Amino acid sequence: MSCDLLIVGGEGDLALRKLYPALYSLWVVGCLPEDIRIFGMARRHMTQDEFLSRVREWFDKRKSAREFEEQAWAGFSARLTYCSLDATDVASLHTLREEHLDDDGRDLVVYLATPPGIFGPVCQAIHGAGLARANARIVVEKPLGEDRASFLEINEQLTRVFEERQVYRIDHYLGKETVQNLLALRFANTFLEPLWNNKYIDNVQITVAESIGVSGRWSFYDDAGALRDMVQNHLLQLVCLAAMEPPAHLESTAVRNEKMKVLSSLRPLDAETIRDDFVIGQYTAGNVDGESVPGYCEEEGAEPKSDTETFIAIKAHIDNWRWAGVPFYLRTGKRLRERFSEIVVEFKQVPHAIFPDQYLLDAPNRLIIRVQPEETISLQLMNKVAGLDVKTPLRSVTMDLSFPEENEPGSTPDAYQRLLLDVIRENPTLFVRADEVEEAWKWVDGIREVWQSTRKRPERYPAGSGGPTGAIEMVARDGRRWREYD
Ligand code: BG6
């Protein structure tokens, strides 16, 4: 299959930091079509050599520069072309088409690595230049709106030109290796499925904890906050994969239909749940990894009185047969003690304890799917302590279900490698359909509306801590605790 890839915003942060390195890694392992052509498009004037050295610079900055090989780079960079053109201008795209993209038989992937404000004009220009052909695909990434209404507007601009089957909405969490492994674990094994319901599962905890702050994008973040920046997309996608019914097959429609059912079963939060089951926080100055860091309102470009949440914890419910009564505790925050993302499935206690002190141990069986920094899956089980003690003492042991070589950092593909490859191969399964995004916004909009009416304000937590104590109390009120407080 022959394919051309046009990256609009081709000298921006996303392209340089994520897209070119991922494409290069795919090239190195021979996964890209040999005749692929990659066009980086941006308005800034730059020579081809300048462009290549900017792309190359990022490899040198990356820790995984060890995979860099001069020979592979020579082959890869020969496929890269910089086009200093305005993507919102039809005439510019006509020029591009005439000079490079005139072979309609080649697939065309257009990656909009730009803010959504220009999606509409770019799509119109692509259409005007005759590039929105049947074998074209368009890739977009969050933020896809700031609420349901603005998402629908953005989506309308895309779908005016492209059919839904041509639109690939990236949520990079779906490209992460362990996230996909969750599907394999659930649906390629028999032993979990009979237990995967409210009869045996006590609660599910989904955490995306970050130690970084707002990384120089204070104003963007201040408009979004953790609910819209992380929960609406990444966390809800993880909820979907953990909670969905087994799809009939792996084809995208079947998978997305099942995810959609989860999203539409999320219980809306009312004023009472916002008070008790919803915690927001904002970091103050503190110490992360031995370094002093400023508080959120003292970051560069910050406004001193912002009440934007940099942490959020929600007790969510999925109102269906499988999950009735099982809380899904969701939590994400910035400037926390440690960076880790995980899904913890906590099982109920045995119905009848026959070992002395078994209940006192209070160590439930847990399946822990660690998404980052390590990518591991482990199972916590009760085990007998070896020896002749007549009381048969027990202890909780952790079994590692992942292969050791998979635990080595850098040995699994980056999310963007997986996702770019899927777009090139025309496989939309790991991309988010419009109705999913809309449904996720509906839930989030509902929360924001009630939250604003209650005027709840964020609880302050020091940078480098475990987050607001309210999040610990929320779970403790249910007689439970977050896994790391074991
Ligand atoms: C992005 C958010 O979507 O995901 C960022 O906008 C966040 O605020 C990032 O830092 C987290 O991604 P990852 O892959 O580093 O966990």
Residue 362: give its domain's CATH number. Answer: 3.30.360.10
One domain for residues 97 and 20: yes
CB of 422 within 6 A of ligand 1: the answer is: no
Residue 486, in any domain of the structure: no
The answer to whether residue 156 is domain-embedded is no
Kindly give the number of the ligand 1 atom that is closest to the alpha carbon of 212: 10
Note whether residue 221 is domain-resident: yes
Assess whether 235 and 130 both reside in one domain: no
Which strand ranges, in their side-by-side order, compose the sheet holding 37-42? 80-84, 37-42, 3-8, 107-112, 136-141, 167-170
Q: Are residues 239 and 188 in the same domain?
A: yes
> Which secondary structure element, helix H or strand E, spans residue 382, and what is its range?
strand 376-384
Average pLDDT, the chain: 93
Structurally, the chain folds into a number of domains equal to 2
Report the run of H or E that residue 424 belongs to, with start and end: helix 415-424
Residue 295 lies in a domain: yes
**421 CB-near residues (< 8 Å, 6+ apart):** 26, 31, 32
Query: If you measure from the C-alpha of residue 147 to the centroid of ligand 1, how many angstroms do you get, rounded to a whole number?
Result: 19
pTM to 2 decimal places: 0.95
CA distance 191 to 186: 9
Q: How many other C-beta atoms can be found within 10 angstroms of the C-beta atom of residue 403?
A: 10
Ligand 1 pocket residue status of 210, Cβ below 6 Å? yes
- DSSP for 474-485 reads HHHTTT---GGG
What separation in angstroms does the CA of 381 have from each of 13, 366, 426, 479? 44, 7, 41, 20
Q: Which of 17, 140, 172 should be mutated for ligand 1, with most atoms under 8 A from CB?
A: 172
Model pLDDT for residues 396-421, shown as the tens digit of each residue: 999 998 866 655 555 678 899 999 99
- Give the distance from CA 308 to its chain's centroid: 21
Domain-embedded: residue 293:
yes
CA distances from 357 to 381, 386, 391, 480 (A): 16, 17, 10, 19
- Which of 93, 153, 82, 97 minimizes the C-alpha distance to 120? 153
What tokens appear for 77 in the block?
């960079």
Q: Determine the distance separating the centroid of ligand 1 and the alpha carbon of 380, expressed in angstroms.
A: 28
Question: If you search the block for the tokens 């909405």, which residue do you land on?
Answer: 169
Q: Residue 79 sits in which domain range? A: 3-141
Q: What are phi and psi of 406, to 5 degrees?
A: -80, -15
381 touches 399 (CB < 8 A)? yes
127 falls within a domain? yes
Dihedral sign, CA of 458, 338, 414, 69?
Answer: positive
Pair 216, 341 in one domain:
yes
Residues 178 and 83 in one domain: no
Residues 212 and 134 in one domain: no
d(CA 107, CA 105): 7
Other C-beta atoms within 10 Å of 47: how many?
10
Q: What is the pLDDT of residues 354-390, one digit of tens each?
A: 887 766 677 899 999 999 998 899 999 999 888 888 7
171 CB less than 6 Å from ligand 1? no
pLDDT of 459 strictly over 60:
yes
What residues are labeled active site? Answer: 234
What's the 341 CA to ligand 1 centre distance in angstroms? 11
Q: Is the CB of 375 under 6 A from ligand 1?
A: no
The domain spanning residue 29 has which CATH number?
3.40.50.720
The whole-number average pLDDT for the span 158-169 is 97
Does residue 289 sit within a domain? yes
Beta-bridge mates of residue 8: 41, 112
Q: Which atom of ligand 1 is nearest to the CA of 172?
A: 14
Adjacent-strand bridge partners of 459: 281
Residues 234 and 278 occupy one common structural domain: yes
Residues 137 and 180 in one domain: no
Structure tokens given for 102: 């005139």
* 274 and 338 housed in the same domain: yes
Q: Choose the weakest-confidence range: 67-81, 293-307, 340-354, 449-463.
A: 67-81
Classify residue 160: in a domain, yes or no.
Answer: no
Which of 141, 163, 195 is the endpoint of a domain? 141
244 and 96 both lie in a single domain: no
Q: Give the number of the atom of ligand 1 that is nearest the alpha carbon of residue 214.
A: 8
